[in-house]
Structure 1
Amino acid sequence: MTFPRIDLLVAPPDATDLVLLVHGGQESSREAAGAWRAAILRMWPFAVAARAGAPGAAVGMMRDRYRGWNGPDADPVADLRVVLDRLPARITRVQLVGHSMGGRAVVAVGNHPLVDGVLALAPWLPGGEPLVPMRGPVVFAHGTADRITSPAQTAAYARRLRASGVPVALLSVADDDHTMLRRSPDWNALVRDFAAGTTYKPSLDPDHVDQLPHSKHANNPLRGVLDIARARLTLRIVGQL
């Protein structure tokens, strides 16, 4: 049997903060979440970005037991709670960055006492998803060309959260899809700024939407693929939690 864990990619010995990257998956599967799956590889450039934004923090990659959400079992949520509950005492603050199914998972555990910020990238937030009073800055970002998860459902969840009194920053990422490759530099900048604590200010305005700034280096999916390759060559797993 496999167990959920955090693979540390950046580990300053005196770090008290952790930026935790939570990968995507699929609706149903109990196959192992292998390290070379596209959903996990896509998160590696965000480790580089998080290191740039918070150089004193540890940066870790969540490793779920399974590829799937798996209905009411919500395995990625159970896994994430397990690793948060068993973090060493020196870690006193966690920022969560999740993509797709991982975005749904970080929202679900956003009220954990260690969590101080949630960034959900192209999250999978189906209708009727339970509202969670998340802690710290809450930021949702979704590409307008996403056909895998729904930008409209993300906006609907943000409106529900705002109506409940939780401020949310909602970002529209023009012309990008679920892979987040076309505008990879812009997504990286968002993760960097989130880790640095300089991201968009959450709002209670039900319909407020910000646009993710479009850099001159965007609109090139190949650049996004090269970002993954560079990050995979630059970083390595230096420990586990």
Structure 2
Amino acid sequence: MSFPRIDLLVAPADATELILLAHGGEEESREPAGAWRPAILRMWSFVPAARAGAPGAAVGLMRYRYRGWNGADPVADLRAVLDRLPARITRVVLIGHSMGGRAIVAAGNHPLVDGVLALAPWLPDGEPLVQLRGPVVFAHGTADRITDPAQTAAYAKRLRASGVPVALLSVAAENHTMLQRSPDWNALVRDFAAGTSYEPSLDSDHVDPLPHSKHADNAVRGVLDIAKARLSLRVVGRL
């Protein structure tokens, strides 16, 4: 793939809002970001959740040129697709996981962006501060050993100190794959898409727990959610 694109999975003809899902990746890799890699597959179950929260919106998967961060390639790709969106799209909500979480934060000051939900984001120490707009929510599992929830909290604290309200959510007993508590993550995506998520705060150390649903923690359920979405949905357009 020589250029970045958006694969649309939900595309109402009159949609003026786009919910864009940005998947994770690796620190360094120029390999193509293949459609069947686990990082992008993980985002598929969020498509029905986003559609349930915002039934009139288009929902798409971000497709980077490369699998790796490579010094910020996904940010350049994300900005490129945002710059060329059709004029009818007047609002974009970004939802990203891991490397995708880092990318949406870095590109979250784009004029079209009005909402950022970063799931287990990779926000290393010294990450440049970006003045984000719209609701800003960070959620991170306490058992994550791939990206550091403490670094996410530190970035949220810096944002709050700069005057940007942030909702910071702690997801108990969850790891980086976000599979153990899949229904709870789906509910968060749905509510964020609907505009009914957690209220962002300027309190430097405020953290909210992500509530447990009635479902028991079970990674198998999360895998089945992904498989169901992957088999029932198809790409209906590209931007």
Deviation at 1:218, TM superposition (A): 3.8
Letter of the 2:18 counterpart: L
Indicate the residue corresponding to 2:208 in structure 1: 210
Indicate the residue corresponding to 1:89 in structure 2: 87
Indicate the residue corresponding to 1:66 in structure 2: 66
| 8 Å contact from structure 1 (residues 184, 218) kept in 2 | no
Corresponding pairs, count: 239
Indicate the residue corresponding to 1:173 in structure 2: 171
- Does residue 221 of the first structure (1) align with residue 215 of the second (2)? no
| 8 Å contact from structure 1 (residues 111, 133) kept in 2 | yes
Indicate the residue corresponding to 2:231 in structure 1: 233
Partner Cα separation in structure 2 for residue 228 and residue 110 of structure 1:
26
Indicate the residue corresponding to 2:123 in structure 1: 125
Paired residue for 2:111, among 107, 110, 113? 113
| 8 Å contact from structure 1 (residues 53, 195) kept in 2 | yes
Partner Cα separation in structure 1 for residue 232 and residue 167 of structure 2:
31
Partner Cα separation in structure 1 for residue 231 and residue 53 of structure 2:
20
Indicate the residue corresponding to 2:140 in structure 1: 142
Deviation at 1:55, TM superposition (A): 0.2
Deviation at 1:216, TM superposition (A): 1.8
Partner Cα separation in structure 1 for residue 76 and residue 215 of structure 2:
38
Partner Cα separation in structure 2 for residue 180 and residue 195 of structure 1:
18
Q: Stretches of 4+ moved more than 3 A in 1?
A: none
Indicate the residue corresponding to 1:79 in structure 2: 77
| 8 Å contact from structure 1 (residues 185, 218) kept in 2 | no
Partner Cα separation in structure 1 for residue 231 and residue 191 of structure 2:
23
Deviation at 1:2, TM superposition (A): 1.3
Indicate the residue corresponding to 1:46 in structure 2: 46
Indicate the residue corresponding to 1:4 in structure 2: 4
Paired residue for 1:192, among 166, 186, 190? 190
- Does residue 153 of the first structure (1) align with residue 151 of the second (2)? yes
3-state DSSP of counterpart to 1:43: helix
Partner Cα separation in structure 2 for residue 218 and residue 149 of structure 1:
24
Q: Deviations over 1:101-157 (max 9, x none)?
A: 000000001111000000000000000000000010000000000000000000000
Give the RMSD, CA atoms, in angstroms.
0.6
- Unaligned 5+ segments in structure 1 are none
Percent sequence identity over aligned pairs = 84
